[in-house]
């Protein structure tokens, strides 16, 4: 469904999209009221709305759709907006596209997002992915970040270093930086670039309105330990950088892999919100059958946390290289990587982190994938390459 108060614009856009490769059933509405009335009667997968419309504007429409129809994917397609309006729209929308927009790019974005979203088997998980605006931070790292942010003498590099210790804040800033509003849609892969692009004024503004931090933690019944989860992700990101140096991987690849590593287990949080009992069942099966946790998740839920995390980050508009490294860090053979890339680096680093921490997880390397890249298949080799 396309919503815009300019009938010529919205109908022209619908005609252009309808002629492209993957066919879509497209409806056109010229006001938010009309769109909400139609949603009561129609089954809609995606809504694409302008922001500035009379009576009910685009952000109010997005808020209503998010509340009443959480399974509907929400896209913004709008012209220049005030920063505060853009931030609110970016919070409520899954993707934010700017006018004028290449219709082929819009079509591709819709198709790819729907394809990844359709892979999710459990309705509760799909609903949670659609509704999540962010994920909660560790209290210690959040407090440190706020302290630095409020100190005018602190250099940008120190703030960036602080952010690299907080995957939750990193995800939110990367989501914002990859909005077409800033002219770099889906291409900002590192935190340093995201901070440089957004600028401190924008980050401080986001902090002042609590858009970065107001995220409810998962229920106690999920047994999710945020400190343990995020400490593991930060550790894996550190190992990725060390691996990249040892293996002489290009800096650009190491940066992409480092960002993906920081977010690689974000899907576990989705499951903690959506299906705490199913997670407990998967953990029980993993322990009983001595199988990796992600495989047990797949048997119980139909998806594992890596796929779910990739879907969430795709909805948030993060670069494809980061999305794929998160989604396939347990199954790198599916990535098609012919050289050492982000998927391979995160895969190896994650296995090393679990092996080093002796956290009880069953550790498995994808030996077929490593062999195809002429890399050692033995975990001991990698442990010796990166000693404690």
Task: Enumerate long-range contacts of 204-213, CB under 8 Å, 24 or more apart.
Answer: 204/149, 205/83, 205/84, 205/87, 206/87, 206/172, 206/176, 207/146, 207/149, 209/84, 209/87, 211/87, 211/88, 211/91, 211/172, 212/134, 212/169, 212/172, 212/173, 213/137, 213/142
Q: How many CB atoms lie within 10 A of CB 379?
A: 17
Q: How many CB atoms lie within 10 A of CB 374?
A: 7
Please, what is the average pLDDT of the chain? Answer: 88
Q: What is the pLDDT of residue 344?
A: 97
Confidence of residue 38 (pLDDT cuts 50, 70, 90): very high
Q: CA 201, CA 204: separation in Å to the nearest integer?
A: 5
Task: Kindly state the helix (H) or strand (E) to which residue 137 belongs, with its residue range.
Answer: none
Tokens 């949670």, located at residue: 128
Residue % of the chain over a pLDDT of 70: 95
CA angle 93-273-130, nearest 5°?
20
Residue 118 buriedness (CB in 10 A; 0-12 / 13-18 / 19+): exposed
Q: Is 223 strand, coil or helix?
A: coil
Q: What is the pLDDT of residue 323?
A: 95
Q: CA 263, CA 329: separation in Å to the nearest integer?
A: 11
Task: Enumerate long-range contacts of 285-288, CB under 8 Å, 24 or more apart.
Answer: 286/362, 287/360
Q: What is the pLDDT of residue 200?
A: 74
End-to-end C-alpha distance for the chain, whole angstroms: 54
- Rg of the chain on CA atoms, in Å: 21
Name every residue whose Cβ is closer than 8 Å to that of residue 154 and which is 6 or more positions away in sequence.
Answer: 148
Q: What is the pLDDT of residue 84?
A: 76
Q: CA 61, CA 33: separation in Å to the nearest integer?
A: 8
Model pLDDT for residues 308-356, shown as the tens digit of each residue? 999 999 988 898 999 999 999 999 999 989 999 999 999 999 999 999 8
Higher-scoring residue by pLDDT: 360, 4: 4
pTM (global) more than 0.75: yes
Q: Is 47 strand, coil or helix?
A: strand
- Name residue 74's beta-bridge partners: 47
Domains of the chain: 2-118 (3.40.50.2300), 139-208 (no CATH), 220-385 (1.10.3210.10)
Model pLDDT for residues 56-71, shown as the tens digit of each residue? 999 999 999 998 998 8
Q: What is the pLDDT of residue 183?
A: 63
């Amino acid at each position: 469904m396309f919503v815009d108060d300019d009938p010529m614009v919205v109908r022209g856009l619908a005609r252009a999209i309808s002629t492209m490769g993957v066919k879509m059933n497209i409806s056109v509405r010229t006001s938010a009221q009309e769109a909400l009335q139609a949603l009561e009667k129609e089954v809609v997968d995606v809504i694409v709305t302008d922001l500035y419309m009379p009576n009910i504007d685009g952000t109010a429409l997005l808020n209503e759709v998010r509340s009443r129809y959480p399974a509907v994917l929400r896209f913004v397609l709008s012209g220049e907006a005030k920063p505060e309006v853009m931030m609110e729209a970016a919070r409520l929308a899954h993707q934010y596209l700017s006018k004028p927009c290449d219709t082929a790019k819009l079509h591709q974005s819709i198709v790819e997002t729907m394809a990844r979203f359709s892979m999710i088997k459990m309705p509760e998980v799909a609903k949670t992915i659609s509704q999540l605006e962010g994920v909660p931070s560790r209290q210690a790292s959040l407090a440190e970040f706020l302290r630095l942010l409020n100190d005018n003498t602190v250099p940008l590099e120190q703030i960036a270093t602080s952010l690299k210790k907080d995957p939750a804040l990193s995800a939110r800033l990367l989501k914002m930086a990859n909005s077409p509003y800033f002219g770099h849609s889906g291409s900002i892969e590192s935190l340093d670039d995201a901070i440089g692009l957004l600028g401190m004024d924008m980050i401080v503004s986001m902090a002042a309105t609590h858009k970065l931090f107001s995220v409810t933690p998962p229920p106690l019944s999920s047994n999710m330990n945020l400190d343990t989860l995020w400490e593991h992700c930060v550790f894996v990101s550190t190992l990725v950088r060390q691996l990249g140096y040892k293996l002489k991987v290009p800096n650009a690849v190491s940066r992409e892999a480092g960002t993906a590593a920081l977010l690689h287990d974000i899907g576990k949080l989705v499951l903690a919100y959506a299906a705490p009992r199913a997670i407990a069942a998967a953990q029980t099966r993993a322990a009983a059958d001595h199988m990796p946790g992600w495989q047990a998740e797949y048997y119980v839920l139909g998806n594992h946390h890596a796929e779910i995390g990739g879907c969430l980050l795709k909805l948030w508009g993060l670069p494809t290289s980061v999305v794929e490294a998160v989604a396939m860090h347990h199954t790198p053979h599916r990535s098609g990587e012919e050289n050492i890339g982000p998927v391979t680096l995160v895969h190896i680093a994650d296995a090393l982190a679990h092996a080093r921490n002796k956290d009880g997880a069953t550790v498995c390397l994808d030996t077929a994938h490593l062999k195809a890249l002429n890399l050692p298949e033995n975990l001991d080799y990698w442990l010796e390459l990166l000693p404690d």
